[in-house]
Structure formats: structure tokens, C-alpha cells
Amino acid sequence: MGRIILARLAWAVPVIGVIVVVNFLIIHLAPGDPVQALVGDFPAPPGYLEQVRRDFGLDQPLPVQLWRYLENLLAGNLGYSFANRQAVLPLLLGRAGITLLLMVPALALASLIGVALGVAAAPRSGSLLDTGITALSLFGYSVPIFWLGQLLIILFAIDLGWLPAQGMISLRANPSGWAAAVDVLWHLVLPAFSITIFFMAIVARVARASVLAVLSEEFITTALAKGLSQRTILWRHVLPNALIPVVTVIGYNFGYSLTGAILVETVFAWPGLGNLFITSVGNRDYPVLQGILLLSAFMVVAANLVTDFIYVVLDPRVRRSYGARGA
């Protein structure tokens, strides 16, 4: 097990390094002047723009800026936000908690419901239940998540008035204690539901296809011939073999949770990393953009590492393959 973890970490380190450099170059070579975006359309005193560029190190050649960025990054310093006037790291940590508050429950619920729907549909292939679940998953996967969010706002917030349309807290009520927690959960319903519908559809489709593939294997026929019950075959033989592709999709969903929140947070004005990313693009806030992309890369790599670890637990063949390599 330790050999497997070390092998995957050895793969992850150079990947992160390449991502850091590529992100830096893409952001800095993109059109736009961050200093001009910071100052705006107001006429600046002579020499003021050049002074601001010197203060933020933007007057140096690009290779020098990259070298300084890498040095600061190794020291745990992600830079200073031009627009927010604060260090990038605490800014990202505060917003990341808000994004995870939205994404983790939604993705967990989507994974559970998606697996349940796929497992329920596959053994009844061609039935009315299977057709309904397939149609639901196709609808959830096909509908753009930002469009679904707008429909939910129109229906439940504007027409019916049951739920808040945007934001994370009620500014007029200004609740505290348990009332504040309930208020946050109330604001969480619509954006979380939008995310759940989309990712549930993906998991359900993969789970159904995987279970169908396992049900066609010869060892399932042998288990049926031995007189094992349908429930025993499903839980002891089908699910352990069908979960590998499902785990891959779930790990992918969690890995891209930060980037996947951009559209939802924009539609619902949820003050997380996705909202901060859109604002920083408009402000040409290089340090914040680099920090968000770096954090997203870490999330993807971490999700892949956890997924590989779950592979080892679920499938003994993976353990044997790594053992054979090390022998």
C-alpha cells in the first residue's frame, strides 16, 4: 500500500509543477492590463501607473516574474491581490470553505442517488422503471446547469416565493446563531439542487452501464446456477465489480468541484471561489487567478490519489499488479 501511494505521489509532483508554470504563462500572456483595470477609466497622475507596476513587480520581464512567483510559492506565499488588497492565501481559504459548503453535500447526494438509480435500473433493463431513470439521467445531463439554475430561480424564488433567489444569507434579517445556520441552509437549497441534478445524471448513467456489463459476465450466470438469491448476487458479486468505473466518475466530480462551481455560483451569487474567479478575470487579478487555478489543480490531483487508493481497496488485481512491479 505504501509503495502505491509513493508511486502516485511521485507522479503528482511534476504534474503540479507543469500546471503551475502553464497557468502562470497563460494568465500573464492573456490580453489586458491589470494595472489599468485596477485604476479604471479615471485619469491617473503622471507616473502613477508605472509606480503601481513597480509596486506589484509587473515592470519586470516575464521570466523574472515567473522565477519570483515560484520562489514565493515554495515559501507558501501566493502573492497579494491587486483588487481585494489582501494576501491571496487567506482570501482563497475563506472562499474555498464557502464553495465546499455548497459542493460537498451536493456531490455526495448526487453520488448516492446516482448509484441507487443505476443499480435499480440495470437489472430491469427495458422496463418502465429503467426507461424513466434513463430519461431522467439524460435530461439532467443534457440541460445546461446555468439554465436549470435560472429556471429554479424563476419557479421557486420569483413565482412561488418559497426559497431565496441569490446570496448566502439574508441581509435584511441579519440572523444569528441557529437562525443564521438555517438561513444559510435555506439559501443552499437551489444551487445545491442544480448541482445534484447534473452530477446525479452522470453517476446514474455510468452506474447503470457498469452494472449491466457485470450482469452479463459468466460468473454471474454461475452464481445464479448455484441458487444464490438476487440480493446476494447484487451485493456480493455485482456491486464490488461494478463500482470501479463509478468511483472514477465520482472522483472526477469531486476533483473538479471548484471549477464546476463557477457557473452555479455566478447564477446564484454564491460568494465562493467560482464567484471570486469571475470577478478576478474582470479585474485582471493575476495572483488570485493563479491561486484559484493552483488550488483546482491540487483538488484534481488529490481526488485522483484518493480514487487510486479506493481502487486498491476494491480490486485485489490492482494490488497484485503493483506488487508484481515492485518484485
pTM for this one? 0.79
Q: Which residue has the higher pLDDT, 325 or 88?
A: 88
**Confidence at residue 154, expressed as pLDDT on a 0 to 100 scale:** 93
Residue by residue, what is the 3-state secondary structure of the chain?
CHHHHHHHHHHHHHHHHHHHHHHHHHHHHCCCCHHHHHHCCCCCCCCHHHHHHHHCCCCCCHHHHHHHHHHHHHCCCCCECCCCCCEHHHHHHHHHHHHHHHHHHHHHHHHHHHHHHHHHHHHHCCCHHHHHHHHHHHHHHHCCHHHHHHHHHHHHHHHCCCCCCCCCCCCCCCCCCHHHHHHHHHHHHHHHHHHHHHHHHHHHHHHHHHHHHHHCCHHHHHHHHCCCCHHHHHHHHHHHHHHHHHHHHHHHHHHCHHHHHHHHHHHHCCCCHHHHHHHHHHHCCHHHHHHHHHHHHHHHHHHHHHHHHHHHHHCHHHHHHHHHHHC
pLDDT confidence tier of residue 294, bands split at 50, 70 and 90: confident
Residue 61 has pLDDT above 90, yes or no: no
**Confidence at residue 153, expressed as pLDDT on a 0 to 100 scale:** 92
Residue 113 has pLDDT above 90, yes or no: yes
Range from 34-48, 129-143, 248-262 that averages highest in pLDDT: 129-143
The CA radius of gyration of the chain, in Å to the nearest whole number, is: 24
Whether the CB-CB separation of 219 and 126 falls below 8 Å is answered with: no
Question: How many other C-beta atoms are found inside a 10 Å radius of the C-beta of residue 211?
Answer: 26
Q: What is the mean pLDDT of residues 269-293?
A: 86
What does the alpha-carbon distance between residue 210 and residue 302 come to, in Å, rounded to a whole number? 24
Q: Point out the least confidently predicted range of 41-45, 46-50, 204-208, 315-319.
A: 315-319
272-285: string of b/e by CB count within 10 Å (b at 16+)? Answer: bbbbbbeebbebbb
- Classify residue 176 as left (phi > 0), alpha (psi -120 to 50) or beta: beta
**Confidence at residue 120, expressed as pLDDT on a 0 to 100 scale:** 87
**Confidence at residue 173, expressed as pLDDT on a 0 to 100 scale:** 67
Q: What is the pLDDT of residues 186-234, one digit of tens each?
A: 889 999 999 899 889 989 999 888 888 888 888 888 888 888 777 788 8
**Confidence at residue 327, expressed as pLDDT on a 0 to 100 scale:** 47
Give the length of the chain. 327
Instruction: Report the DSSP beta bridge partners of residue 87.
Output: 80
Q: Which residue has the higher pLDDT, 255 or 301?
A: 301
Residue 323 has pLDDT above 70, yes or no: no
Whether the CB-CB separation of 157 and 190 falls below 8 Å is answered with: yes
Whether the CB-CB separation of 213 and 203 falls below 8 Å is answered with: no
- When the pLDDT of each residue in the chain is averaged and rounded to a whole number, the result is 82
Q: Which residue is associated with the grid cell 446516482?
A: 114
Whether the CB-CB separation of 99 and 274 falls below 8 Å is answered with: yes
Whether the CB-CB separation of 141 and 202 falls below 8 Å is answered with: yes
Q: Which residue has the higher pLDDT, 44 or 236?
A: 236
